[in-house]
Amino acid sequence: MMSVLVYGCTIYCALWLAWLGYIMRRLATRAGAPAPGPLPAPLPRVSILIAARNEEAALPRCLASVRALDYPAHLLEVLVGDDASTDRTRAVAEAALQGFGGTYQVVTITATLGQARGKANVLAHLAHLATTDYFLLTDADIAVPATWVPGLLAHAAPRVGTVTGLTVVQGPGLLAKLQGVDWLLSLAAIQVATDSGQPMTAMGNNMLVTRAAYQATGGYEALPATIVEDFALFEAVNAQGYGFRQLFEPAVRAASLPAGAWAALLRQRLRWLRGVAALPGRVQAGLVLFSGYWLAAVGLLLAGRPSWALGVMVLKIGAQALMLRVATRRAGLPMPAVPVVVGYEFFSVALTTHLALRRLFGRRGVAWKGRHYH
């Protein structure tokens, strides 16, 4: 019986490493990656939609990056939706946009449109206010690169409904660096699947949606209420026959602030799990299989093969470090320090275990931005 366990765990680890190698090769060669096209001529006006709730601390950084965009200011329409904040979000936004060369509005949202709730409701209102054919969505805790607008527009080909950029986590401290590794490795795997033609997801903090595609869905107010509104819109746009683009390049690399504490990180990931639950069954099965490597190592340990268990873990850390190097090069980022790369293994196990326990024994629903969602 023990020999069966040993062989089973060893074969699983070998297949896992082969899978990682496949992802790494595809990512390094950019196999299937969309090539940018020419920018529309003349350059179009675009609307930047930002939903903000209690974001007085983060919003100035976001809006400063918007003001620094390498795109004619008179072609920018910035719409900030204050989601009934209890802090100075609106006043901070108005001060940050004072003197901006483009068009801007800061509006407080209190009414609801259709089925939309929370952030989706704010974006629904902003979409009604927008006057352009391109909606660029980002969040208050995001800093977009100067090349963001032309970088996204270069992929907005006819019948392409959504273009999703690359978002990375950047911030001081070990927890922020570990989140950065986690995001980058996860998005690298998603990128390979997307480049293979499998629609996976979209990130509402760094996404372009054409007006035509958005209106074809009926807008956020026509979608079922959800806390993962970006994924819901992505699916709805695809269902209307529009194509999608997922990008993994510096020109559209936005920087997100990290979750500041472990509890905040758990709330964030529990919210994201709602989107994972909506993925196709084969994709969910792949995610489960991909996350079982530590269990296989434990199986080898229990089977009396401690040296084998140690060996497969060393191989995993080494292979993952190589993939991280490929991902950072493609994203135009520096390689994290060795202690961060090694420490990521323990971070990943702790986070996965804690999330599993919260899902099994925690209360239902997700708390987010001072609201509770079921």
Distance (Å) of CA 334 to CA 146, 177, 337: 19, 12, 9
Least reliable range by pLDDT among 119-133, 159-173, 205-219, 344-358: 344-358
Q: What is the pLDDT of residues 284-293, one digit of tens each?
A: 666 666 778 8
Half-sphere exposure of 329 (CA within 13 A, CB side): 11
The number of residues making up the chain comes to: 374
Q: Please tell me the CATH superfamily of domain 46-275, with its number.
A: Spore Coat Polysaccharide Biosynthesis Protein SpsA; Chain A (3.90.550.10)
**Whole-number pLDDT of residue 344:** 95
**Whole-number pLDDT of residue 198:** 86
H or E element, residue 125: helix 118-129
**Whole-number pLDDT of residue 291:** 76
Q: Has residue 277 got a pLDDT over 90?
A: no
Q: What is the pLDDT of residues 170-191, one digit of tens each?
A: 999 999 999 999 999 999 998 9
Task: Output the pTM of the full model.
Answer: 0.93
Least reliable range by pLDDT among 98-112, 137-151, 253-267, 357-371: 357-371
**Whole-number pLDDT of residue 72:** 97
Is residue 179 within 8 A of residue 268, CB to CB? The reply is no
Is residue 134 within 8 A of residue 44, CB to CB? The reply is yes
Closest CA to 93 of 122, 64, 131, 128: 64
Q: What is the pLDDT of residues 306-342, one digit of tens each?
A: 999 999 999 999 999 999 999 999 999 999 999 999 9
Least reliable range by pLDDT among 151-155, 281-285, 300-304: 281-285
Confidence of residue 370 (pLDDT cuts 50, 70, 90): low
- Cα 216 from Cα 75, distance rounded (Å): 24
Q: What is the DSSP string of 319-338?
A: HHHHHHHHHHHHHT-PPPPH
Question: Span 130-138, mean pLDDT?
Answer: 98
Q: Which residue has the tokens 């449109």?
A: 113
**Which carries the bigger pLDDT value, residue 301 or residue 49?**
49
Is residue 268 within 8 A of residue 351, CB to CB? The reply is no
H or E element, residue 372: strand 371-373
**Whole-number pLDDT of residue 227:** 79
Least reliable range by pLDDT among 55-69, 229-243, 287-301, 352-366: 352-366
Confidence of residue 372 (pLDDT cuts 50, 70, 90): low
Q: Has residue 85 got a pLDDT over 70?
A: yes
